[in-house]
């Protein structure tokens, strides 16, 4: 008996109700009574009546017992662990959870054994509670639905109403996700700004969260950890700029060629080929940047007497540029195609060559869309994570030199939040503040780009 069997049980019960509802409706029909709806709608009505409340209570208990127990179990954690500076709720919970599953190495501390036993007991109790609640709801409310069936009952209308409201509910998930993102970022960011003033975060020139531990251990040196995010944004900007230098010319010229010069066959070969570049996972690009491109650049640089850092902004930016070529070429291709043929014809009618039509008519007409595609590519480059984590490194140098190692906002977020973090420290919280700024920047860029595209579309439609 576990959560899955309970779920299957609930489904079976609703299936059973479907059978009964259907059967009753059929028997009514067999009595030569005219039914309002098709018989299976009566079955579906009862089944929905049974499954929705029971599933709701099932999920509610499943979700909230986790929240409840993870807070209650803290009673069993000894005071000295709770109060110790490196207390981490997630680690403690994981420890207990592993003990519950029976995965552990060596001796367990006593309190973990006690807590895990308590946890197992609670889990069993909640399962029993869940079992009774859900099953009784499935049977009880299902029965209420079943009682509703009579000859003139408009079961189809009711079923459709239920389904439409379910469809509407699912569209709310998107909003819930946004709210979740905003909440998960804002609260932690506010706590961060309570420790570190926002002005220091936004305008500080050194980023060095590594000393946090030393500071707290009472080494006497206060304020060694600094959270000035300017180097991160400069690094992000530098890498994005390099990426744009690669992708904008290549993407634009490809788009112009594919939409204006290429014949059908060329187009059908090269357009998908370019789009493959967008489908390659970023971790593959990161591996490629770190193990192939960066050494190549380093060796190439030393040949001509340049000192290229082994984790240079150039390698990461270059590879990122390759990755975003299709974003620029595809969208620009679309906008160029959307320029009305009449404009082209007018240009040709005046005796222009293809090149003159492109530079004097098509590009100016498509410019807003092209700019939008570039903005989207920028927002993509700013949010890109794996390439910079693997190839750009973590050295927060405030440098505009593409040959230096720099770091980016996303790379810092990942390094700070991967592994075991302490939720209370300024270092962990700083990742949330970085994420907040990242979201704000990408959303503004995106908003602007969509706005431009929309305005442009209206112009020709």
Partner 1 sequence: MNKNNSKMLTADEASKIVASSVIRRRKKNARLKTYGRIAIGLAVSFLIFLFVSIFSKGIPGFFQYYVTLDVYLDRDRLDPKGDLSPESLYNGDARSIVLESLYKVIKPKGRKEKKAAKKIISSNADVRISKMVLDDPNILGKIIPITFAVDDDIDSFLRGYIKRETPSSERRINDKVIKFVDKLSAENKISYKFSDYILTGSASRSPEIAGIKGAFIGSMLTLAVCFIIAFPLGVATAVYLEEFAPKNKITEIIEVNINNLAAVPSVVFGILGLAIFIGIFGMPRSIPLLGGMVLALMTLPTIIISSRAAIRAVPPSIKDAAYGIGASKLQTIFHHVLPLAMPGMLTGTIIGMAQALGETAPLLMIGMVAFIVDIPGGVTDPGTVLPVQIFMWADFAERMFIQKTSSAIIVLLVFLILMNAAAVILRKRLERRW
Task: Show contacts with partner 1 in window 238-277 (CB under 8 A).
Answer: 249-254, 256-258, 261, 270, 273-274, 276-277
> Does residue 386 touch partner 1 according to CB under 8 A?
yes
Q: Which of 311, 333, 384, 422 binds partner 1 (CB under 8 A)?
A: 384
CB of 218 to partner 1, least distance (A): 28
Q: Which of 23, 354, 455, 457 binds partner 1 (CB under 8 A)?
A: 354
Contact predicate 238/395, CB 8 Å: no
Kindly state the tokens that stand for 118: 């308590």
Distance CA 381, CA 374 (A): 10
- Residue 215's SS3 state is helix
> Does residue 447 touch partner 1 according to CB under 8 A?
yes
**CB closer to partner 1 out of 69 and 143:** 69
Q: Which of 355, 360, 401, 459 binds partner 1 (CB under 8 A)?
A: 355
Query: Tokens 């304020």 map to which residue?
Result: 223
- Cβ within 8 Å of residue 287, ≥6 positions away: 390
Range 218-237, binding partner 1 (CB under 8 A):
none
Binding pattern to partner 1, positions 13-52, x when CB under 8 A? ----------------------------------------
CB of 187 to partner 1, least distance (A): 8
Paired with 191 in beta bridges are none
> Does residue 56 touch partner 1 according to CB under 8 A?
no
Sign of CA dihedral 363, 365, 366, 367: positive
Other C-beta atoms within 10 Å of 288: how many? 19
Binding pattern to partner 1, positions 164-193, x when CB under 8 A? x-xxx-xxxxxx-xx-xx-xxx--x-----
Contact predicate 357/348, CB 8 Å: yes
**CB closer to partner 1 out of 205 and 273:** 273
Pairing mode of beta strands 207-208, 226-227:
antiparallel
Q: Which of 8, 33, 214, 284 binds partner 1 (CB under 8 A)?
A: 284
**CB closer to partner 1 out of 84 and 292:** 292
- Binding residue count for partner 1, defined by CB under 8 A: 94
> Does residue 309 touch partner 1 according to CB under 8 A?
no
Q: Which of 46, 119, 127, 290 binds partner 1 (CB under 8 A)?
A: 290
Distance CA 10, CA 18 (A): 12
Binding pattern to partner 1, positions 398-437, x when CB under 8 A? ------------x--xx--xxx---x-------xx--x--
Task: Classify residue 260 by its DSSP letter.
Answer: I
**CB closer to partner 1 out of 305 and 351:** 351
Distance CA 5, CA 14 (A): 14
**CB closer to partner 1 out of 214 and 440:** 440
Range 189-218, binding partner 1 (CB under 8 A):
none
> Does residue 366 touch partner 1 according to CB under 8 A?
no
Contact predicate 229/434, CB 8 Å: yes
Other C-beta atoms within 10 Å of 61: how many? 20
Task: Classify residue 418 by its DSSP letter.
Answer: S
**CB closer to partner 1 out of 20 and 322:** 322
> Does residue 351 touch partner 1 according to CB under 8 A?
yes
- Cβ within 8 Å of residue 408, ≥6 positions away: 232, 235, 236, 239, 388, 392
3-state helix, strand, coil in the chain (%, to 5): 80, 0, 20
Contact predicate 134/54, CB 8 Å: yes
> Does residue 348 touch partner 1 according to CB under 8 A?
no
CB of 122 to partner 1, least distance (A): 12
**CB closer to partner 1 out of 103 and 303:** 103
Q: What is the DSSP string of 233-291?
A: HHHHHHHHHHHHHHHHHHHHHHHHIIIII--HHHHHHHHHHHHHHHHS-HHHHHHHIII
């Amino acid at each position: 008996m576990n959560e899955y069997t309970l779920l299957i049980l609930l489904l079976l019960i609703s299936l059973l109700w479907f059978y009964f509802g259907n059967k009753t409706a059929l028997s009514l029909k067999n009595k030569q009574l005219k039914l309002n709806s098709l018989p299976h709608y009566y079955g579906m009505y009862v089944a929905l009546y049974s499954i929705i409340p029971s599933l709701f209570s099932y999920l509610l208990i499943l979700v909230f017992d986790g929240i409840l127990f993870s807070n209650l179990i803290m009673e069993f954690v000894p005071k000295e662990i709770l109060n110790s500076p490196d207390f981490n709720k997630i680690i403690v919970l994981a420890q207990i959870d592993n003990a519950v599953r029976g995965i552990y190495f060596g001796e367990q501390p006593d309190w973990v054994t006690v807590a895990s036993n308590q946890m197992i007991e609670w889990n069993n109790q909640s399962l029993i509670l869940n079992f009774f609640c859900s099953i009784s709801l499935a049977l009880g409310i299902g029965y209420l639905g079943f009682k509703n069936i009579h000859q003139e009952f408009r079961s189809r209308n009711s079923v459709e109403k239920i389904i439409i409201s379910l469809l509407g509910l699912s569209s709310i998930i998107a909003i819930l996700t946004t709210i979740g993102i905003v909440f998960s970022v804002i609260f932690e960011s506010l706590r961060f700004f309570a420790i570190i003033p926002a002005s220091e975060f936004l305008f500080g020139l050194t980023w060095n969260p590594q000393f946090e531990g030393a500071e707290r251990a009472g080494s006497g040196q206060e304020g060694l950890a600094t959270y000035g995010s300017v180097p991160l944004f400069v690094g992000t900007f530098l890498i994005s700029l390099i990426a744009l230098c690669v992708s904008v010319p290549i993407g634009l010229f490809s788009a112009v060629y594919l939409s204006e010069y290429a014949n059908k066959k060329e187009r059908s070969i090269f357009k998908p080929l370019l789009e493959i570049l967008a489908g390659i996972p970023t971790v593959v690009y990161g591996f490629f940047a770190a193990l192939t491109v960066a050494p190549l650049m380093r060796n190439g640089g030393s040949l001509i007497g340049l000192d290229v850092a082994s984790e240079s902004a150039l390698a990461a930016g270059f590879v990122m540029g390759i990755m975003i070529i299709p974003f620029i070429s595809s969208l620009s291709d679309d906008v160029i195609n959307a320029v009305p043929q009449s404009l082209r014809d007018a240009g040709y009618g005046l005796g222009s060559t293809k090149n003159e039509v492109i530079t004097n008519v098509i590009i100016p007409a498509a410019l807003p869309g092209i700019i939008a595609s570039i903005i989207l590519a920028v927002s993509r480059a700013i949010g890109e994570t794996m390439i910079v984590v693997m190839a750009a490194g973590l050295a927060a140098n405030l440098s505009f030199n593409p040959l230096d190692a720099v770091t980016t906002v996303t790379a810092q977020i990942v390094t700070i939040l991967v592994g075991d973090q302490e939720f209370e420290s300024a270092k962990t919280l700083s990742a949330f503040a970085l994420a907040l700024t990242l979201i704000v920047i990408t959303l503004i860029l995106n908003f602007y780009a969509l706005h431009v595209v929309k305005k442009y579309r209206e112009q020709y439609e």
